[in-house]
Amino acid sequence: MAEKKEKKEEIESEKSIEDLPGVGSATAEKLRESGYDNFMSIAVSSPAELSEVAGMTEASARKVINAARKKLDMGFESGADLLRKREQVIKLTTGSKNFDNMVGGGLETGCITECFGEFGSSKTQLAHALAVNVQLPKEQGGANGKAVFIDTEGTFRPERIVQFARGIGLDPEEALKNIKVARAFNSDHQILLAERVEDLLKEEDIKLIIVDSLMGHFRADFSGRGQLADRQQKLNKHMHQLMKMANQYNVVIYVTNQVMAKPDMFFGDPTAAIGGHIVGHNSTFRIYLRKGKKGCRVAKLIDAPNLPDSECMFWVKEDGIRDE
C-alpha cells in the first residue's frame, strides 16, 4: 500500500502545469514566475489571485484550479490519514524545557505560533534563539534546517546569534550563514518578502520563518477606523500566505506581535494583542509574554487546539533561553 502511494506521488511530481486545460506555455511561464509551479500551489489558490497573475478571466482560472484539484485527488481524508500526517510534525525547542512542555514539546511545524507582549518581554530574543536552535539535529530538538528572518523593526542582531550559537556548541559563522535576513520597510514590502520566501523554500532546506514583528507596519500604514477594513483584508491575505507555506512545506512560522492597552478593563491585565480576530483565528498557538520577578519572563499559553491554558517561567541568558 505504501509503495503504491509513493509511486502515485512520484507520477504526480513528474506532471507539468502545462498538462492543465487552458494552460499554454505563455500562461505557464507567468504562473511559474509568480510561484505557481506545481499542482498543489494552483489547487490551493483562489480564482481571483490566479487570474491576476496569469492574465486570464476568473472563470478560466476556476477551471484550472478545479482541474489541478482533480489531478491531486483532493477531498476528505480519514482521521487515521491525518494522524499519520501528524507523524511528520517536527517540534522545535526554545531552549527552555518549561516552555517546550507548555507547548507540547516545542514549536510545531505546519502552523503559526504567535508571541505577543510589551517591549522587553523577550519576543525578539526568542526569535533569535529559535533561528539558531532550528539548525540542531532533530534528536536535539532542532530540525536540521535553516531560518528566514523578516525584520520589520530593525531588531535582528548577528552578535546575539553568535552568543546563542556558542551556547549550544554550533559554529557561529555557519549559524549566521544559515539565517536569511531581510528588512521590510512597509506592509507591502513585508507581504512581498513573505511571497519571495516561497522561492527559498524550494531551493533550500528552510524549516523556520520568523516575522518580527507582524503588525508594526500594518499599524503605521493604516491609521484610523476609516482604513481598518482595508488593513484587515490585507493582513488576512498575509496570514493566509504564511499558513499556506507552513502547511505545504512543513515549516515553523513564528510571528511576534505588539500589544495595546484596554482602558475599559478594570480587573486583570489590560494588555491585548493587536490585529483583532484576523490574527487570532489564523494563529494556531498564541502565547502572551511578560516580565516576571527577579529577571525572569513568564509565558502564558492562551490559545492552542489541543492543549490547556497554562504558563511557565523562563530566563534569557547570554547563551540562550534557559529554565533558570
Cα(107)–Cα(187) distance, integer angstroms: 26
Is 77 domain-assigned?
no
pLDDT band, residue 14 (cuts 50/70/90): very low
Q: Name beta bridge partners: 115.
A: 256, 287
Least reliable range by pLDDT among 27-31, 222-226, 306-310, 318-322: 222-226
Tell me the pLDDT tens digit for each residue of 69-102: 888 877 777 888 888 888 899 999 999 999 999 9
Residues 63, 126 within the same domain: no
Q: Where are the extended beta strands (E) located within 157-309?
A: 179-183, 206-212, 252-257, 259-261, 271-273, 285-291, 297-303
Which helix (H) or strand (E) segment holds residue 84: the answer is helix 79-86
Residues 21, 152 within the same domain: no
Q: How far is CA 66 from CA 14, 59, 248, in A?
A: 19, 11, 18
Is 151 domain-assigned?
yes
Which helix (H) or strand (E) segment holds residue 248: the answer is helix 228-249
Q: How far is CA 145 from CA 45, 47, 99, 136, 170, in A?
A: 27, 33, 21, 8, 13
Per-residue pLDDT, 34? 84
Cα(78)–Cα(17) distance, integer angstroms: 28
* Mean pLDDT for the chain overall: 89
Is 79 domain-assigned?
no
Cα(271)–Cα(275) distance, integer angstroms: 13
For residues 210 and 128, the answer to whether their CB atoms sit within 8 Å is no
Per-residue pLDDT, 226? 83
Tell me the pLDDT tens digit for each residue of 26-84: 999 999 888 888 888 898 888 998 999 899 999 999 999 999 888 887 777 788 888 88
Tell me the pLDDT tens digit for each residue of 229-258: 888 889 998 999 999 999 989 999 999 998
Residues 251, 166 within the same domain: yes
Q: What is the mean pLDDT of residues 161-178?
A: 98
Cα(258)–Cα(174) distance, integer angstroms: 31
The CATH code of the domain that includes 10 is: 1.10.150.20
Residues 115, 186 within the same domain: yes
For residues 201 and 246, the answer to whether their CB atoms sit within 8 Å is no
For residue 13, pLDDT over 50 is answered with no
C-alpha closest to that of 114 among 291, 297, 302: 302
Cα(108)–Cα(128) distance, integer angstroms: 17
* Ramachandran angles phi, psi of 179, nearest 5°: -120, 120
For residue 185, pLDDT over 50 is answered with yes
* Ramachandran angles phi, psi of 224, nearest 5°: 85, 160
Look up the domain containing 47 and give its range: 2-72
Cα(173)–Cα(161) distance, integer angstroms: 9
* pTM for the full predicted model: 0.82
Residues 24, 59 within the same domain: yes
Total residues belonging to the chain: 324
Tell me the pLDDT tens digit for each residue of 255-308: 999 887 665 544 556 577 878 778 888 899 999 999 999 999 999 999 999 999
Tell which of 72, 99, 133 closes a domain.
72
Cα(195)–Cα(30) distance, integer angstroms: 15
Per-residue pLDDT, 3? 45
For residues 289 and 114, the answer to whether their CB atoms sit within 8 Å is no
For residue 1, pLDDT over 90 is answered with no
Tell me the pLDDT tens digit for each residue of 135-167: 999 999 999 999 999 999 999 999 999 999 999
The CATH code of the domain that includes 284 is: 3.40.50.300
For residue 6, pLDDT over 60 is answered with no
pLDDT band, residue 178 (cuts 50/70/90): very high
